[in-house]
Amino acid sequence: MTDIRKGGRGNVAPYKTVMVRTPEPLLDLAKQLTEGYRQVLGTHREETYLNGVQDAIAGNAGFELGNYSAQSEMEVTGQVRSLNEELEAVRANVSALEKKLAAIDGIIGTYRGQSKDTRDWTKAKQLMAELERVT
């Protein structure tokens, strides 16, 4: 820790402070950011430190600080819409395949019921012709 006055209990910090409720998972990070700021406070590196922190957060989060734009939301909405369209196309293909499979199953059932256990190639050719019509 630094020897800079931090404020509190009658002491005044050499910078403006605000009370903020911080989520526990972010508490250590907030403490590190505060300590880093105290170390550069009053030096020529103060502005560079603040800009670096903002750039790092903006680079990792994928959007500018304080400017969560509607563009980001629109991009996500567009991606969701695109995925929904793809899902509907897949569902339509599955439905078409299910219909074809049901038709093939019906044809095979019909030929099984009508054919005898012989080597009659004409029946096999008829079966193949009907199956080709389905697909």
Statement: residue 64 has pLDDT above 50: no
100-134 confidence digits (pLDDT tens)? 888 888 888 877 777 666 666 777 777 778 888 87
Residue 25 sits in the same domain as residue 6? yes
User: What amino acid occupies position 56?
Assistant: A
Q: pTM of this prediction?
A: 0.38
| Helix locations, the chain, DSSP H | 24-40, 46-61, 70-114, 121-134
Q: Which two tokens stand for residue 98?
A: 């299910």
Domain-ending residue, one of 38, 68, 98: 68
Residue 96 sits in the same domain as residue 52? no
Domain that holds residue 17: 1-68
Residue 55 sits in the same domain as residue 24? yes
For the chain, report the end-to-end CA distance as a whole number of angstroms: 76
Statement: residue 24 has pLDDT above 80: yes
Which of 102, 26, 86 lies closest to 57 in space, CA to CA?
26
Residue 54 sits in the same domain as residue 2? yes
Contacts of 50 (CB under 8 A, 6+ apart): 37
74-102 confidence digits (pLDDT tens)? 777 888 888 889 999 999 999 999 988 88
Residue 61 sits in the same domain as residue 73? no
Number of compact structural domains in the chain = 2
